[in-house]
Chain A
């Protein structure tokens, strides 16, 4: 049996979401709560402020299933979410982090 490469596995099952958000204390719980209360698994989260710190960017590594388009629409409805972009699981942002996540 051919083993899937990491990339292929990701491409099948995962997606990366890039969110531009207002940077304040409650934003993360708004975003993450949306996924957890719908039992939608988030595998990876990365957040850093951008520019002068008034805004942040959140990267989410999520399962890709039939509910993803609905999840994205729900995320877009959040007041503090300014934009949502969807990428394939092969996006560099989580791959470059892999060295920090060796078992």
Chain B
């Protein structure tokens, strides 16, 4: 986890006081630069090629190292810290298998625009290219999955590369940066006379004022506008501005999976999540809109369904910090490249307050006629009911992480998310195994919060080893395991689209997860055996420390509605 800009400056000033000319190793320089950056927690696993860095880490008490049990876990812990706080977080791995084990977490961060800095050890420079023990081309492997990457060739370079890595990770559209440091560079000793400033995010270029005026005009002209919020709204800290715009211009608002929490789901203008598992009313309203205002969203195929049929009658205003997103999937009538917070701040005073009674009452009618169906929501022994019962036992300060599968979509549909950064989920890559380590990272970054992780019996096994890390750290994570003894989302697809040919999706052997959790040293509660499941749940959720909460779910339950892959959003099935 990392600190605020003020804390960073203070830390840097303090560090400056004790800097005369010092002779330091590359490894010590990295540690010092991380301290100056305000980094207080890192997650990783040591190995030969990164031992000099670990040796230097052992000399500081300003950075807490979390020993993950698999590098992918370390990568997702860093993601959890970064997603919860919005600030770059750090993970560490050795060369070869250490680095390859990180790849999935890095790719996941790339697709969801999460700022992490991954530092890997590499074989000594002279051995690069010799197929040395644990040599792998980490630089080459990570080009397509990082925002930027570095192979550092001298200790001096670290003084430039480390702050830049943080600047790049956090500037513009955030993303992962990898720094690969050969062992001899970590050991190289140099004199350091002056320390670079910590790497802070660079301001985004100013948006085109004429385009903003054109957008204002289009909003004024529209009769049936919809506001479409994406993860960029959360990254930019622009959720309150987005809500203010919706209220001022009477804009029914849809959110992508990544944006959930940006507008409270129970806000009167909220239509919740759009797309593949959005409510019917949401996708039907989109089908009718005459103006779509996309803010920090990228027209992902899970959100749009068949693109040609997405909002067929709508003009499009698209605001995004990444110019390459404009016109990528849908050509915008007005495209505005800029930080969405700054653009909304400029737009807001120019937009006329509008009531739009006809459109709002029409949308309200759609909501009544085609709401999200949540059968069993009052019974905590059903999937929706369990989610509602968890929410009822917690307040909005709780953070909600998920793994990937049916459970993830049910939580996205039914958990009353009301706060930006409340919701941590793997959207773009959809990585099973994300949930537990990401929840641990979030809990370490914000120890005052309860972090709930909804997971599945398939997903949890992909990073189950991090349960012992949770135990070791005493992380306040509550893992709600929705156990259907099935790769549920696969089972659902085989049932619906593959003629019920169920293959390789039903587990023959299912572990005793209660024993597994206890074996890893964390408390476990089996709701199946609880006479009072609500009370047992509330007690488990509100007792500090890690806990696994187990609940059986019927494998025949489906996530509905569902837009069949490749179909248009208005052709939903079920729900």
Contact = CB atoms under 8 A, between A and B. Distances in A.
Given A26-B149, A26-B151, A33 B144 contact: yes
Interface residues of A, number: 14
Interface stretch (B6-14, B308-316, B320-328, B489-497): B320-328
Nearest to B148: A79
B144 A37 contact: yes
Interface string B317-337: 000001110011000000000
Contacts of B322: 77
Given A26-B139, A26-B149, A26-B151, A77 B144 contact: no
Contacts of A37: 144
A78 B324 CA distance: 12
A81 B168 CA distance: 14
Nearest to B144: A37
B140 interface: yes
A29 interface: yes
Nearest to A29: B143
Contacts of B168: 79
A74 B143 contact: no
Nearest to A77: B324
Given A37-B144, A70-B327, A76-B323, 16 more contacts: A25-B151, A26-B139, A26-B149, A29-B140, A29-B143, A30-B143, A33-B143, A33-B144, A69-B327, A70-B324, A70-B328, A74-B324, A77-B322, A77-B324, A78-B148, A79-B147
Interface in A16-60: 25-26, 29-30, 33, 37
9 contacts: A30-B143, A33-B144, A69-B327, A70-B327, A73-B324, A74-B324, A76-B323, A78-B148, A79-B147
Nearest to B329: A70
Interface of A: 25-26, 29-30, 33, 37, 69-70, 73-74, 76-79
Interface residues of B, number: 14
Contacts of A25: 151
4 shortest A-B CB distances, which residue pairs? A73-B324, A79-B148, A33-B143, A74-B324
B29 to A, nearest CB: 20
Contacts of B140: 29
Nearest to B337: A73
A77 B173 CA distance: 10
Contacts of B151: 25-26
A30 B151 CA distance: 13
A38 to B, nearest CB: 10
Interface in B117-160: 139-140, 143-144, 147-149, 151
Contacts of A30: 143
Nearest to B173: A77
A70 B299 CA distance: 15
Interface in B361-383: none
Given A25-B151, A79-B168, A73 B143 contact: no
Contacts of A79: 147-148, 168
Contacts of A33: 143-144
Contacts of B328: 70
Contacts of B148: 78-79
B298 to A, nearest CB: 13
A74 B324 CA distance: 6
Contacts of B324: 70, 73-74, 76-77
Contacts of B143: 26, 29-30, 33
B149 A73 contact: no
A79 B143 CA distance: 12
* Max chain B Cβ within 10 angstroms of own Cβ: one of A25, A74, A76, A79: A79
A85 to B, nearest CB: 16
A25 B152 CA distance: 11
A76 B326 CA distance: 14
Nearest to A72: B324
A25 B139 CA distance: 11
Contacts of A76: 323-324
A78 B168 CA distance: 11
A30 B144 CA distance: 8
B163 to A, nearest CB: 14
A69 B322 CA distance: 14
Nearest to B164: A79
A100 B404 CA distance: 55
A23 to B, nearest CB: 14
Contact of B323 (A26, A73, A78): A73
Contacts of B139: 26
